[in-house]
Amino acid sequence: MSSSKQRVILVTGANKGIGFEVIKKLLEESSASSNNLILLGSRDLKRGQDALLQLGSPSNVHVLQLDTSSEESIARATDEIKQKYGGQLDVLINNAAIASWNDTAETARDIFATNYYGIKLVNKHLFPLIRENGRVVNVSSGVGAWALHDMTDEIQKKYKSETLTEEEIDGLVKDFISAIATKTIDKIMPNTKLLGLCYSGSKTALTALTRVEARQWSGAKNVLVVSVCPGYCSTDLNNHGPGSRPPALGADSILYVVNTPKADLENGEFYQDGKKLPQSSAFTVNIRDRLKASNMKFDRYKFIVQCIIGENKGQGVKYSCRCLWDADTDGMAK
């Protein structure tokens, strides 16, 4: 049971990677660590317990089994919070996500089930438990902004609408998944050079959902709802890809919106490393620099680099490039 003075924080997908680093850093906050009751959300209970052991089994960190792609699991976790922790949360960090380079119908369904629909369901079940002046942090990604930039003007207009609704986002997501399944994604994202479209598209939808939820929830209990990009971090999600930064830095990006005074943040906005990001932006990352920074042999990845930055053209090149990358990595960066 939590006390009324404790700050109750739930971090989903926290048994490893960025979520695990978030909890480590919360424990390192000398002035606040003893006043935080932290729920370590993990899809697999055993892995969650192993993570707790790695943390040294602190008394104020408890494992909560939570599969964000399953409403049944979400409902059980909600009941557990009510029964064991007084039914109250101060901070909800939706960190759990899955990714893949492969853009198939099955992949699209799986990725959106966790990265978009799952977070919608988590928020639906847990928002009633958020205390006044609480916070909901949806961990999104800059690739979502890149994906939106590459969508048609009509779709961009819908996503950017100030009156956008959850139902409208659901419709856009349904169309996106259908386009992946029917191999007509070029009608939504013509001439895009991005890979891992299912992942990036799910993050476009999540960033938009954050804006809608901020409008819906800010009034009743003055809840702050923001999205945050942790950056391209070295985690299992991207198979510790070349040029990635330590997950601890991703955790810092998340904790900025957790700990910064609400007066210094804007409800519904998208942040990274303490700075507000646009909802849509062009893909400008210098992949060459990323690879060189990782001390990897550049020639080995020359083909994919040329492809991503547009030195070669066409769908055939893109998919050849994807196959080359898949020979070494299986995941995607946050």
Q: Decide if 114 contacts 97 (C-beta within 8 A).
A: yes
Tokens linked to 203? 């993050």
Q: For residue 218, what pLDDT is reported?
A: 78
pLDDT band at 317 (very low <50, low <70, confident <90, very high): very low
Average predicted confidence (pLDDT) for the chain: 84
Q: For residue 313, what pLDDT is reported?
A: 40
pLDDT at 235 over 60: no
Q: For residue 279, what pLDDT is reported?
A: 93
pLDDT at 244 over 70: no
- pLDDT one-digit tens code per residue, 218-227: 777 899 999 9
Q: For residue 6, what pLDDT is reported?
A: 85
pLDDT at 51 over 50: yes
Q: What's the CA gap between 176 and 139, in Å, rounded?
A: 21
The pairing of strands 89-94 and 7-11 is parallel
pLDDT band at 304 (very low <50, low <70, confident <90, very high): very low
Cβ-in-10-Å burial (0-12, 13-18, 19+) of 185 comes to buried
Which one is predicted more confidently, 113 or 300? 113
**199 labelled catalytic:** yes
pLDDT band at 1 (very low <50, low <70, confident <90, very high): low
pLDDT band at 249 (very low <50, low <70, confident <90, very high): confident
Q: For residue 297, what pLDDT is reported?
A: 39
- pLDDT one-digit tens code per residue, 31-43: 555 689 999 999 9
Q: What's the CA gap between 76 and 43, in Å, rounded?
A: 12
pLDDT band at 29 (very low <50, low <70, confident <90, very high): confident
pLDDT at 111 over 90: yes
pLDDT at 208 over 80: yes
* Helix or strand run (H / E) with residue 23: helix 17-28
H-type alpha helices, 68-141? 71-84, 105-112, 119-126
Which one is predicted more confidently, 227 or 245? 227
Tokens linked to 51? 């993570």
Q: For residue 163, what pLDDT is reported?
A: 97
13: Cα within 13 Å, side-chain hemisphere: 22
User: What ranges do the domains of the chain cover?
Assistant: 7-282
* Helix or strand run (H / E) with residue 201: helix 197-221
Q: Decide if 242 contacts 149 (C-beta within 8 A).
A: no
The residues, any chain, with a CB within 8 Å of residue 89's CB and separated by 6 or more, are 8, 9, 10, 81, 126, 129, 130, 131, 134
Q: For residue 232, what pLDDT is reported?
A: 61
Instruction: Considering the domain delimited by 7-282, tell me its CATH architecture.
Output: 3-Layer(aba) Sandwich (3.40)
Within 10 angstroms of residue 111's Cβ, the number of other Cβ atoms is 29
Q: For residue 32, what pLDDT is reported?
A: 55
Catalytic residue among 85, 116, 159, 199: 199
